[in-house]
């Protein structure tokens, strides 16, 4: 009632005041206990885009407000949040006193690897509330689809199962992912498999997405982007939540979340159970996903001890192959050529010719599945020495084990180390079989940070990590057309790999003046990798590689006003080759590591009714690894270093409160992504050598020159929200030749989401969500690949695509207790 009276009174006052009056709120943020100023506190005003930070002396200023009623929020790590309604009819000066928290807060766990408003970096922070609004079972990349420069894709076509994300056209193996500061990227391939983290979104408090090299972090090289995820934070009050959703393609999600709240003012437990299933848009592309999350923490005034574990179980029917272009276009002569060129048998040909043009899956074996279980264990210890110093140490262990099973026809027994089979006078040298390829891996290590904040001029972090990975790769035959002399679990190959990764970084931010901040960030990273690979005599032997990188970063941030700033930064990133680059090459043909020089220049403004941000970037690569089609000395189509390539672009974001009930948020990225002097190698079966075509400058594959997103939100009444969501992705090329015959067409997809919540006497909150995805039934493909060859004097090119679902819906119900 107090807020309602204030707002009502303020509205009357505003009506009798000059419409163009511009008023300010200013003051200082202080510690209630010591009276000392608190720099870096976040100051925001409800229902506006205003969010600023207190300066080095604790002062803050919010300008250009019209007369009326406002709700002011002030917060800082280690302190309680200040919130008060303000009736503004003249300039107001006030001191805000923050009370120290009775317990240490979780934010310290991730702060060492994050950017903030004073960082000269481009980033977006996605809150728990933003995630919850759209969390109906799709994988995390789909929940990030509206972020700037982001493009997502799904093998199964509907966002459940194997999904991927690209940032500025940069693939997942170059995007660093951490959860609570712990590395998540696979140590060998360096990709992140979101299918192994089903419904992790239900246990996330916030995500920071950094574009470009970003700040120093742990794990795989942040080579163009990073995702820094923080899981469930302390909730002082106990809670229980049940969430269920159902929709098209028999997609279903059931989640239960519970939390104890603070027990004896010191302890808290949070837990989640989830199950997600979907039949997928592509034929037989079903998913069965299960997971749990559990955290138990001790929260003292100066210490946090927190144990976190979460496990993902996934079984997905394989939809990795894509759809041939002839099938997608309904080109029957082209399909017959494809059948002949690829030696399809009658059953396979029938499957191709008679399946749906957008849903064809070449795999018809009933158990052509990927089956994997991955469990994560984290133990965090945070300690505050005093107001200026705190430290974090974490231990972690990740266990993964699983296989993919596949039916293989016409296999030679000798390729599997098996003897011929003799039936009477006949010698059988091969046949059909079913095999499983296993990965059994262990990943463990520690992360650490020591943070200093003078609360005046200087803040600094010394941090780093040591991690070790052991991966056992092996294969088994579980069925063969002909009985062979072998054990049931006999391995037809074994390959053990070991990789250690150490990094240490020192980053510092210094307030030269109240308006000017400078920062420096220096990281040293050392990688040692041992693996089974080929030597120069093409013998398969144990090998090793050792690399060390120095990754410097520096920048400035200048506040033009309390709500407006400009920044510039220059960063260097380095990244080692991936598993296949090593194992499928010799020391002579082994590629070099990649180097990225990243320049970012930006402008940020947040006001009462509008916010906007501009960021220009130039990413200059040395020795970027790309596919060229070249066959190396062991007969593999490995990636090859290209000497020079670059990405340059402009990212623009804006938010506008058109009316009290109507707002619009949008972003657009315009970019140019090029390789200089690219060589394309084509298999020429008419000769003994590959044909070569040289391109003076060509487009980098999967790098659209335009990416845009828009969300229009209408809230006609309290707790009812309509969101009209649009995404445009420009044309992309399937390879690095800029060939119009090998491309993904541009697509424009629109979604509608409705969120409504109501409070009742018996259930504190009931929430309803309806999402209609691809509202207008756009037929589009979000991913693909291509290959070709020359035979009989003809250049044959085969393109494969991953179509996405047409109009589909998901409906959800949430009960909060």
DSSP state string for 671-722: EEEEEEEEEEEEEETTSSS-EEEEEEEEEPTT--SEEEEEEEEE-SSTTEEE
pLDDT tens digits along 20-46: 468 888 888 888 777 788 877 888 887
Structure tokens at 37: 């100023």
Label residue 570 by pLDDT band (50, 70, 90).
Answer: very high
Residue 752 host element (H or E) = strand 747-758
Query: Region 254-277: what's the mean pLDDT?
Result: 96
Label residue 383 by pLDDT band (50, 70, 90).
Answer: very high
- How far apart, in whole angstroms, are the C-alpha atoms of residue 552 and residue 379? 30
pLDDT score of 225: 92
**How do 491-511 and 540-561 pair as beta strands?**
unpaired
Residue 117 has pLDDT above 90, yes or no: no
pLDDT score of 581: 94
pLDDT score of 74: 86
pLDDT score of 8: 37
Range of weakest confidence among 77-86, 188-197, 269-278, 586-595: 77-86
- How far apart, in whole angstroms, are the C-alpha atoms of residue 791 and residue 689? 12
pLDDT tens digits along 150-183: 999 999 999 999 999 999 999 999 999 999 999 9
Quote the percentage of the chain above a pLDDT of 90. Answer: 75
- By residue count, the chain amounts to 817
pLDDT score of 12: 38
Residue 90 has pLDDT above 60, yes or no: yes
pLDDT score of 102: 64
pLDDT score of 562: 80
- How far apart, in whole angstroms, are the C-alpha atoms of residue 442 and residue 376? 10
pLDDT tens digits along 387-414: 889 999 999 999 999 999 999 999 999 9
Closest CA to 816 of 739, 757, 745: 757
pLDDT tens digits along 595-614: 999 999 999 998 888 999 99
Q: In what order do the strands lie in the sheet with 42-45?
A: 51-53, 42-45, 68-75, 82-88
Label residue 240 by pLDDT band (50, 70, 90).
Answer: very high
pLDDT tens digits along 418-477: 888 888 888 899 999 999 999 999 999 999 999 998 877 899 999 999 999 999 999 999
pLDDT tens digits along 278-309: 999 999 999 999 999 999 999 998 999 999 99
* pLDDT, the chain, mean: 91
Query: Region 253-267: what's the mean pLDDT?
Result: 95
Query: Cα–chain-centroid distance for residue 123?
Result: 13
pLDDT score of 83: 81
Query: Region 234-255: what's the mean pLDDT?
Result: 96
Q: Where does residue 585 rank: exposed (0-12), middle (13-18), buried (19+ CB within 10 A)?
A: buried
Query: Region 638-654: what's the mean pLDDT?
Result: 96
pLDDT score of 21: 61
Question: What's the Cα-to-Cα distance from 813 to each of 238, 255, 277, 343, 768, rounded to whole Å?
Answer: 21, 11, 17, 50, 5
> When comparing pLDDT for 714 and 103, which is higher?
714
Residue 628 has pLDDT above 90, yes or no: yes
pLDDT tens digits along 741-779: 999 999 999 999 999 999 998 899 999 999 999 999 999
- HEC secondary structure over 496-563: EEEEEEEEEEEEEEEECCCCEEEEEEEEEEEEEEEEEEECCCCCEEEEEEEEEEEEEEEEEEEEEECC
Residue 483 has pLDDT above 90, yes or no: no
pLDDT score of 11: 40
Label residue 80 by pLDDT band (50, 70, 90).
Answer: confident
Label residue 3 by pLDDT band (50, 70, 90).
Answer: very low
- How far apart, in whole angstroms, are the C-alpha atoms of residue 241 and residue 742? 48
Range of weakest confidence among 15-24, 153-162, 808-817: 15-24
pLDDT score of 40: 76
Residue whose structure tokens are 């080109």: 331
pLDDT score of 132: 94
Range of weakest confidence among 89-98, 276-285, 493-502: 89-98
């Amino acid at each position: 009632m107090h807020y309602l009276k204030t707002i009502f009174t303020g509205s009357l006052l505003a009506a009798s005041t000059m419409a163009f009056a511009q008023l300010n709120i200013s003051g200082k943020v202080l510690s209630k206990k010591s009276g000392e100023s608190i720099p870096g506190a976040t100051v925001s005003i409800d229902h506006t885009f205003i969010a600023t930070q207190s300066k080095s002396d604790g002062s803050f200023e919010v300008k250009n407000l019209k007369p009326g009623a406002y709700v002011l929020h002030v917060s800082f790590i280690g302190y309680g949040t200040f919130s008060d309604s303000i009736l503004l009819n003249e300039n107001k000066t006030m001191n805000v006193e923050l009370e120290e928290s009775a317990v240490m807060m979780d934010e310290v766990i991730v702060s060492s690897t994050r950017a903030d408003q004073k960082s000269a970096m481009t980033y977006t922070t996605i809150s728990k509330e933003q995630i919850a609004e759209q969390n109906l079972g799709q994988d995390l990349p789909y929940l990030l689809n509206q972020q700037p420069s982001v493009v997502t894709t799904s093998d199964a076509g509907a966002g459940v199962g194997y999904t991927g994300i690209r940032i500025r056209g940069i693939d997942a193996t170059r995007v660093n992912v951490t959860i609570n500061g712990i590395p998540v990227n696979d140590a060998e391939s360096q990709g992140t498999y979101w299918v192994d983290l089903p419904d992790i979104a239900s246990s996330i408090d916030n995500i920071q997405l950094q574009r470009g090299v970003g700040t120093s972090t742990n794990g795989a090289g942040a080579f163009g982007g990073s995702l820094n995820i923080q899981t469930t934070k302390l909730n002082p009050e106990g809670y229980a939540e049940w969430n269920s959703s159902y929709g098209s393609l028999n997609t279903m999600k059931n989640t239960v979340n519970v939390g104890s709240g603070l027990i004896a003012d010191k302890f808290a437990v949070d837990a989640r159970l989830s199950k997600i299933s979907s039949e997928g848009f592509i034929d037989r592309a079903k998913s069965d996903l299960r997971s749990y999350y559990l955290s138990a923490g001790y929260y003292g005034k100066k210490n946090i001890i927190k144990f976190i574990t979460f496990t993902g179980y996934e079984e997905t029917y394989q939809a990795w192959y894509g759809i041939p272009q002839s099938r997608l276009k309904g080109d029957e002569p082209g399909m017959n050529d494809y059948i002949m060129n690829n030696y399809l048998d009658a059953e396979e040909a029938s499957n191709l010719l008679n399946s749906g043009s957008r849903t064809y899956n070449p795999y018809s074996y009933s158990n052509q599945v990927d089956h994997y279980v991955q469990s994560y264990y984290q133990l965090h210890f945070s300690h505050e020495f005093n107001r200026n110093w705190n430290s974090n140490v974490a231990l972690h262990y990740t266990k993964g084990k699983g296989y993919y099973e596949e039916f293989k026809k016409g296999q030679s027994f000798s390729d599997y180390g098996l003897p011929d089979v003799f039936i009477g006078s006949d010698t059988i040298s091969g046949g059909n079989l079913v095999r499983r390829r296993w990965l059994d891996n262990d990943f463990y290590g520690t992360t650490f940070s020591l943070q200093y904040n003078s609360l005046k001029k200087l803040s600094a972090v010394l941090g780093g990590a040591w991690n070790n990975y052991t991966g056992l790769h092996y294969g088994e035959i579980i069925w063969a057309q002909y009985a062979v002399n072998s054990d049931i679990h006999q391995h037809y190959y074994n390959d053990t790999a070991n990789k250690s990764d150490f990094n240490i970084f020192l980053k510092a931010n210094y307030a030269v003046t109240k308006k000017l901040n400078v920062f420096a960030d220096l990281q040293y990273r050392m990688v040692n990798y041992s693996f089974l690979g080929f030597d120069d005599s093409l013998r398969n032997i144990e090998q090793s590689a050792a690399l060390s990188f120095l990754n410097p970063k520096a920048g400035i941030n200048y506040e033009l006003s309390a709500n407006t700033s400009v920044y510039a930064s220059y960063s260097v990133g380095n990244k080692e080759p991936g598993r296949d680059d090593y194992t499928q090459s010799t020391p002579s043909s082994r590629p070099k590591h990649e180097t990225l020089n990243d320049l970012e220049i930006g402008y940020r403004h947040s006001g009462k009714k509008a916010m906007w941000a501009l960021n220009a970037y130039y990413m200059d690569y040395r020795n970027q690894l790309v596919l060229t089609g070249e066959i190396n000395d062991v007969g593999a189509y490995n990636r090859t270093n290209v000497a020079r390539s670059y990405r340059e672009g402009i990212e623009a974001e804006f938010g506008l409160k058109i009316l009290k009930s109507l707002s619009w948020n949008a972003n657009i990225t315009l970019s140019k992504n090029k390789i200089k002097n690219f060589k394309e190698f084509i298999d020429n079966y008419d000769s003994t050598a590959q044909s070569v075509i040289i391109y003076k400058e060509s487009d980098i594959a999967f790098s659209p020159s335009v990416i845009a997103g828009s969300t229009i939100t209408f809230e006609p009444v309290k707790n009812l929200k309509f969101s009209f969501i649009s995404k445009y992705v420009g044309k992309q090329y399937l390879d690095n030749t800029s060939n119009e015959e090998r491309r993904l067409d541009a697509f424009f997809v629109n979604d509608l989401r409705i969120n409504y919540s109501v409070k009742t006497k018996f259930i504190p909150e009931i929430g309803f969500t309806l999402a209609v995805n691809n509202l207008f039934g756009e037929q589009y493909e979000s991913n693909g690949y291509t290959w070709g060859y020359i035979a009989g004097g003809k250049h044959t090119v085969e393109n494969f695509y991953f179509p996405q679902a047409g109009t589909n819906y998901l409906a959800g119900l949430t009960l909060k207790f």
